[in-house]
């Protein structure tokens, strides 16, 4: 059962985003990027009030992902990427991205907060940040 509405093209878009943002972080890193994307569709809060589907989330600007804004969102989705995207669309969640709406790759340590959101953990090179349950109850 899907947790967000989607089409076949939406699955491919999410798979491409996951690959572009975290291919070097392995499958688990890609799944975590997918969690952040799905959470943004679910959120209906903060910067994500008008995000209604995966396509809106992938191409959100401003406030979207670097991959789509800085030009490295060009590789096609592979079958393995599509399988990963389907997993997060079905609701699989992976800590520390379970309830995160943001991630980024800092030069050094993860800051305690980012845009007033708490650091909830790091996976390899990426730091993940989640809103409080009061700010965005839909992602919890």
**79-89 helix and 8-22 helix, angle to the nearest 10 degrees:** 110
- For position 46, what pLDDT does the model report? 93
- pLDDT tens track, the chain, 140 positions: 899 999 999 999 999 999 999 999 999 999 999 999 999 999 999 999 999 999 999 999 888 898 898 877 889 999 999 999 999 999 999 999 999 999 999 999 999 999 889 999 999 999 999 999 899 999 98
Q: What is the DSSP letter of 115?
A: T
- What is the enclosing helix (H) or strand (E) of 40? helix 26-43
Cα distances from 124 to residues 22, 52, 62, 86, 119, in angstroms, run 10, 30, 26, 23, 14
How far is Cα of residue 33 from the mean position of the Cα atoms in its chain?
A: 4
24: its two tokens: 């070097």
């Amino acid at each position: 059962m899907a947790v967000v509405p989607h089409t076949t093209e939406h699955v491919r878009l999410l798979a491409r985003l996951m690959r572009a943002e975290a291919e070097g972080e392995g499958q688990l890193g890609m799944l975590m990027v997918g969690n952040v994307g799905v959470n943004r569709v679910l959120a209906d809060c903060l910067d994500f009030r008008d995000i209604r589907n995966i396509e809106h989330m992938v191409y959100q600007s401003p406030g979207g992902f670097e991959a789509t804004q800085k030009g490295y969102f060009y590789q096609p989705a592979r079958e393995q990427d599509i399988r990963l995207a389907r997993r997060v669309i079905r609701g699989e969640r992976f800590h520390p991205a379970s309830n995160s709406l943001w991630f980024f790759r800092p030069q050094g340590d993860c800051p305690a907060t980012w845009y007033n959101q708490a650091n909830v953990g790091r996976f390899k090179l990426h730091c993940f940040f989640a809103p409080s349950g009061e700010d965005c109850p839909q992602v919890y």
